Amino acid sequence: MSTSSTSLAPALNAADAQFEQSLERLFALLRIPSISTDPAYNGEVRKTAAHVHGELESLGFKVTTHTTPGHPIIVAKWDDAASDGPRALFYGHYDVQPVDPLELWDRDPFDPIVETRADGSKKIVARGAADDKGQIMTFIEACRACIQATGKLPIPITIIFEGEEESGSPSLPGFLDAHTDDLKADVALVCDTNMWDRDTPGITTRLRGMYGVEVTIEAADKDLHSGYFGGAARNPAHVLAKIIADLHDDDGAITLPGFYDGVAEVPDDIMAMWQQLDFSPEAFLGDVGLSVPAGEKGRSVLEQIWSRPTLEVNGITSGYTGEGFKTVLPAAASAKISCRLVKGQDPDAVRRSFEAFVTERLPADCKAVFKNKGAGPGIELDTTGPAFVAAQQALTDEWPKPAAFIGVGGSIPIVGDFQTRLGLESVLVGFGLGDDQIHSPNEKYELESYRKGIRSWVRILFALGETA
């Protein structure tokens, strides 16, 4: 038996023994409102970075907080490992989504609490509990347990934490390019995804990419009185509505020319695996008050969210939106729109097609202003590497059911950046659940996700140590 496996049990015991303190440390992190997308919270984001920096330093990592044009990037290194195993680059983000509409939260989003359900299961409720503070703390606390039990980590580790993930990670790609040597590793570990279900851990191998844009249609040079000008002056809200309406056909397909170029059908064997997963479209939609799949006709829900590109309006604003009524003709109308892209689509071609689509539809006196909000391609990972195999086994050892290779509808652009900029494949392991309400009011993280998540990382680190 190798040194690694002898030490696994003490490390797991150390994790269990200090779980209450691990929870306290997560709460301390959740209490800082690190909303990266709203400049009003810049100070809180910096405070969060300093807090995380301190945690890692106290564990014995060599930590550097790098300033960027946006929010700080933290790099922490551990070189004195128990084996010559592969160096892992662990990625997570310490920023969180905005909390509006605040009135839909049952309590202060930044006053975390553990709530117990009727069935005895417990959840941690707070903004960022699942996305991504709870997840990054599973890794930090796993490192702590290993260090406490053995004085070392099982493998050499570099940690990179960013604070701009929820605002499109504008600083990260340039940072990777500028620090390729410092970030050199054999495999990337990313903790920002879900399990398949409560009992089944998942390794995510398919991710949708993203093209985000805010388009503003401008007409008159100010809001106009709809009585004096209504009927004679161009209303940009109508123009925007027409453009949005034109973006999908009656069968739910996206009408942007060339949008589906390069999109492959899912291979039959993968489709068969998905059909075997315990998945109920009715329950999936029913959980959020819906009943009928709304997207492309003839595609299953899993197919839609894992393998098909989408185009969705995330927000619209135009004219008077306050209390009461104001009979203006708006001077402008604006929509935030994002496309989820799949492997094979070129984000830049999608951007060009979108901009041409809008521009062609502008009537006289209107102009369109485009603000790009980041773009990244869809990804499918090669699951045959030793790190995938080791992680799959470690997860299977920890949880009731074997780990599954799954897809995810969301985008994690870092995975593409690690491929292209650092030459690294990412193993995406996370302990979120589909009902965690990330990006929504009353976000939660299962207490069990946190507890077994920490234990899972302990197991994965030791398993990776044995791949040396």
Least Cβ distance, residue 203 to its own copies (angstroms) = 17
Q: Which is nearer to its own copies, 17 or 102 (CB)?
A: 102
Q: How many CB atoms lie within 10 A of CB 264?
A: 10
Least Cβ distance, residue 103 to its own copies (angstroms) = 12
Structure tokens at 378: 């869809």
Q: Which is nearer to its own copies, 114 or 220 (CB)?
A: 220
Closest CA to 377 of 170, 207, 162, 193: 207
Q: Which is nearer to its own copies, 150 or 338 (CB)?
A: 338
Least Cβ distance, residue 152 to its own copies (angstroms) = 37
Q: Which is nearer to its own copies, 305 or 463 (CB)?
A: 305
Least Cβ distance, residue 261 to its own copies (angstroms) = 18
d(CA 228, CA 224): 8
Q: What are phi and psi of 343, to 5 degrees?
A: -55, 135
d(CA 405, CA 403): 7
Least Cβ distance, residue 351 to its own copies (angstroms) = 15
Least Cβ distance, residue 390 to its own copies (angstroms) = 27
Q: Which is nearer to its own copies, 199 or 287 (CB)?
A: 287
Structure tokens at 72: 């700080």
Q: How many CB atoms lie within 10 A of CB 412?
A: 26
Q: Which is nearer to its own copies, 349 or 362 (CB)?
A: 362
Q: How many CB atoms lie within 10 A of CB 228?
A: 9
d(CA 429, CA 201): 8
Least Cβ distance, residue 413 to its own copies (angstroms) = 12
Q: Which is nearer to its own copies, 141 or 162 (CB)?
A: 162
Handedness of CA 395, 396, 400, 404 (dihedral sign): positive
Q: Which is nearer to its own copies, 1 or 232 (CB)?
A: 232
Q: Which is nearer to its own copies, 28 or 264 (CB)?
A: 264
Least Cβ distance, residue 458 to its own copies (angstroms) = 28
Which ranges of 82-171 does DSSP label H, i.e. alpha helix?
133-150
d(CA 256, CA 248): 8
- What is the SS3 assignment for 135? helix
What residues contact residue 351 under an 8 Å CB cut-off, 6+ apart?
211, 213, 372, 375
Q: At what angle do helices 236-246 and 347-360 cross, to 10 degrees?
A: 130
Least Cβ distance, residue 410 to its own copies (angstroms) = 3
| SS3 readout for 362-408 | CCCCCEEEEEEEEEECCEECCCCCHHHHHHHHHHHHHCCCCCEEEEE
Structure tokens at 412: 């994690």
